[in-house]
Structure 1
């Protein structure tokens, strides 16, 4: 009994040291990342302070921060005018951001609904897969800028063409991930369910869907990232309000500080979206990656 109790204590201590080591490693990694960020900003500030680069091409960090604050506040149109302007292009930056999120939500949302259904059909039926796979691969290979003009001709320059563009950008990764998940299902799991008397619906809901869900969520994560990078292309025409449209318009007007501020907001939102989807996948499929 004493030896068993002693072994349990040693195991507990080893586990505690392991958890502490993991936490310490995370804090060290975070500290390294923060130090790298501070060094990059310091270098940026030094280059602009010494006027090594024309401010038109590389404004200072202070100018970018000022543009960010200005885009979310109201200010006089000029010193001699009583007219008040709010935000940029008639909208605050958070309103531009919300407009882009709405377009992403509609386009990617439709892809999340249709992508797994099409992928499931292609994974279950060989003749459906043979008929549709060439079109799916063709669509996946097309860059969004290659067909945005056609979408504008078909659906106009309003939000409908943007919804279609973002949907077409997000649909292939989700469908293909679903197909890969279907193909990766072990046959013995289905055979075991059949041997216990499970019908087709039970096999689908208790075997196929749980086995495919990690790949579907991975495809959604990839599709969302790809659609977010496509938002600037979607908002090239009549993209105001929209964070991508604001970045494009400010660039054409040589408002470099505002353009950099938009780029930073786009990048930070992309990281936040990806992190949120990563943790959502961990919550929905906690068994993924564990031994079965």
Structure 2
């Protein structure tokens, strides 16, 4: 009696489609999706502009809600020389913004560098984390103006207290993010590297830091945002030229349109810098978001 034997064969592996994205890399967004997002954002801006115009017409109080035309007029006035007056307080708008961006850049760089070193140490050495973590949390909870007065007493009213303020404000987000990322590094990869003979520094450099970079970049973006939100506080004293100093000076004279213009300048430049950070993140961490 003969028995028929059927052998199960594994299905052939699916071949990658021609022209498709390589394995492990996200497919680029279709052009239709990008156009839809752009149109939605333009529509949202148009709606916000219309609401702003309606609110200004209803209140009829330019000191409370200045109309868009008034803010545009101040943009032209502060960006040029009219009737012998150059910009605002003798400086053009781009000069005010440039001084503030320089302060933010220097302060953020110092704070990010200190936070990165502190976070790696906190995430790598348990007893240092136990000692230092409450201090970092305490500093993060303090509003910038709380210790800015102390810096003025120590360093005067020149650039030094402003840089110190922005540095201290930018340090905690990076330190917390780096410490959490380093502490939660993949245990299997760390043990495998040690089994292959890697020392402590090599493990941190080749295993821990690459796995922690995505979260560290998130902390860097948060730190730059905190520095931006602190620039007005940093420029409350002797802040002209500076966009925050311009806002504070305009507030004293109830120039709401200048205040709104300064807020737009800070916000738009912040969006630009955040976009640059996103681009750098995508270039330096291509493995982020892979399946």
Instruction: Quickly name the TM-score band, shorter chain normalised.
Output: 0.7 to 0.9
Residue in structure 2 matching 1:31, options 25, 39, 42: 39
SS of 2:30's partner is helix
Partner of 1:148 in structure 2? 148
Matched, 1:42 2:36: no
Q: 1:51 to 1:140 in 2, by over 3 A?
A: closer
Q: Distance in 1 between matches of 2:199 and 2:118?
A: 22
Matched, 1:74 2:94: no
Partner of 1:81 in structure 2? none
Q: Distance in 2 between matches of 1:86 and 1:184?
A: 54
Deviation at 1:154, TM superposition (A): 1.3
Q: What count of residue pairs does the alignment treat as equivalent?
A: 275
Q: Distance in 1 between matches of 2:20 and 2:200?
A: 47
- Residues 140 and 172, structure 2, Cα contact 8 Å, conserved in 1: yes
1:137-286 to 2 correspondences below 5 Å: 137-286=137-286
Partner of 1:80 in structure 2? none
- Residues 78 and 93, structure 2, Cα contact 8 Å, conserved in 1: yes
User: Which stretch of structure 1 is more off in the superposition, 36-45 or 251-260?
Assistant: 36-45
TM-score by length of 2: 0.88
Consecutive unaligned residues in structure 2, runs of 5 or more: 1-11
Query: More helix by proportion, 1 or 2?
Result: 1
Q: Distance in 2 between matches of 1:55 and 1:169?
A: 34
Deviation at 1:197, TM superposition (A): 2.4
Q: 1:134 to 1:21 in 2, by over 3 A?
A: closer
Aligned-residue Cα RMSD (Å) equals 2.2
Residue in structure 2 matching 1:58, options 42, 49, 65: 65
* Stretches (4+) displaced over 3 A: 11-15, 18-22
Consecutive unaligned residues in structure 1, runs of 5 or more: 77-83
Q: Distance in 2 between matches of 1:111 and 1:190?
A: 28
1:105-124 to 2 correspondences below 5 Å: 105-124=105-124
1:110-166 deviation per Cα after TM superposition (whole angstroms, max 9, x unaligned): 112211111111111111112211111111111112221111111111111011110
Deviation at 1:53, TM superposition (A): 2.3
